């Protein structure tokens, strides 16, 4: 069964959103879960993407991605009505949702996408939601309006100050954690270095912290082990043991190295694709 792109648009600098037909996944998915897709039926790459939202009645899921390489660029080049050959999911263990009192949800860049369904679910069980959203600049700030709907308090900041407060997310996070009473739990999703530094902050305040990891994967069902990370000194599989882990126990430095394992090949594939786009006139 292939999956039709029902709607698609660019929502930020290099960031895209699409609503895609996947009725079974739309029905089954829970916050914190992801899918693996490959665009054509044969030898295109399998990549994991977060499910940003779903409409079970319409049978669609929402995907948000950043254009960083060949596959994400190909996705960005799809038009409404085009098909994605393979989408498997929902994968990963759903987020454990409970009433913590106040929950601080910290999103960085594209991380706002997986964070949104979690914040929504946390709100639904009665948590007070303090959302801190960060981005490099204004053009990369996504989903602010949707967070506004589910947050009791929303703090927006950019690295360059072009929008909201000029700060890294760690700064407002420190302030929030320093309040009395401190938040019962933190949820942090974003670029790996950002998660690492946020965890250092919450650790110093003793605020339990959940992070959601996005590593390189092939099958997403535990079969290959390519996604493994070190948690509390032990190898864990992001696809079946995660994607969420206790952020205070994750070895982020090793994870960053593993994420870069194929950097040169990824760049080669992306460059080839850009040349190909140019030749077929997609670049106008």
Does residue 86 interact with another protein by CB under 8 A? Answer: yes
Does residue 168 interact with another protein by CB under 8 A? Answer: no
x/- string (CB under 8 A) for another protein, residues 218-257? Answer: xx-xxxxxx-xxx----x-x--x----------x-xx--x
CB of 22 to another protein, least distance (A): 9
SS3 11: strand
Cβ closer to another protein: 54 or 229? 229
**Closest C-alpha among 96, 98, 84, 70 to residue 36:** 84
Cβ atoms of residues 63 and 4 within 8 Å: no
From 8-16, 126-134, 149-157, 262-270, span contacting another protein (CB under 8 A): 262-270
Cβ closer to another protein: 91 or 135? 91
DSSP 250: B
Q: CA angle at residue 88 from 18 to 55, to 5 degrees?
A: 45
CB of 167 to another protein, least distance (A): 30
From 38-46, 103-111, 132-140, 196-204, span contacting another protein (CB under 8 A): 38-46
CB of 5 to another protein, least distance (A): 16
Cβ atoms of residues 37 and 87 within 8 Å: yes
35 vs 279: CA distance, rounded Å: 32
Does residue 5 interact with another protein by CB under 8 A? Answer: no
Give me the half-sphere count of Cα atoms (radius 13 Å) on the Cβ side of residue 259: 14
Q: Is the dihedral of CA 238, 227, 273, 69 positive or negative?
A: positive
86 vs 208: CA distance, rounded Å: 36
Give start and end residues of each alpha helix (H) in the chain. 23-28, 70-76, 112-124, 144-150, 170-177, 192-205, 252-259, 263-279
**From the list 4, 11, 14, 45, which residue makes contact with another protein (rule: CB under 8 A)?**
45
Cβ closer to another protein: 19 or 241? 241
Cβ closer to another protein: 10 or 27? 27
Cβ closer to another protein: 1 or 148? 1
β-strands 185-189, 209-212: how paired? parallel
Interface positions, 91-130, toward another protein (CB under 8 A): 91, 93
DSSP 185: E
CB of 274 to another protein, least distance (A): 14
Binding residues (CB under 8 A) for another protein: these are: 1, 24-25, 28, 38, 41-46, 70-71, 85-91, 93, 218-219, 221-226, 228-230, 235, 237, 240, 251, 253-254, 257-258, 260-262, 265-266, 268-269, 272
């Amino acid at each position: 069964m292939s999956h039709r792109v029902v709607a698609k648009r660019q929502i930020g600098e290099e960031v895209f959103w699409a609503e895609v037909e996947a009725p079974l996944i739309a029905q089954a998915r829970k916050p914190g879960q992801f899918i693996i897709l490959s665009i054509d039926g044969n030898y295109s790459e399998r990549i994991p993407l977060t499910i940003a939202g779903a409409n079970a009645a319409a049978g669609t899921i929402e995907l948000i991605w950043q254009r960083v390489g060949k596959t994400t660029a190909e996705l960005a080049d799809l038009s409404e009505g085009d098909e994605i050959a393979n989408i498997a999911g929902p994968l990963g263990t759903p987020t454990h949702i409970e009433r913590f009192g106040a929950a601080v949800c910290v999103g960085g860049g594209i991380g706002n996408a997986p964070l949104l369904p979690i914040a929504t679910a946390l709100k639904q069980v009665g948590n007070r939601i303090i959302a801190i959203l960060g981005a490099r600049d204004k053009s990369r700030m996504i989903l602010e309006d949707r967070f506004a709907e589910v947050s009791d308090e929303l703090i927006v900041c950019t690295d360059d100050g072009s929008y909201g407060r000029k700060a890294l997310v760690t700064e407002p996070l420190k302030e929030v954690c320093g309040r009395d009473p401190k938040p019962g739990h933190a949820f942090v999703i974003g670029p790996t270095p950002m998660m690492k530094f946020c965890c250092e902050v919450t650790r110093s305040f003793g605020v339990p912290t959940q992070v959601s990891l996005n590593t390189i994967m092939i099958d997403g069902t535990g079969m290959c082990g390519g996604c493994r990370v070190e948690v509390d000194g032990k190898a864990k599989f992001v696809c079946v043991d995660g994607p969420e882990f206790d952020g205070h126990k994750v070895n982020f430095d090793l994870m960053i190295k593993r994420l870069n394992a194929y950097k040169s090949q990824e760049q080669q594939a992306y460059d080839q694709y850009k040349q190909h786009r140019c030749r077929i006139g997609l670049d106008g």
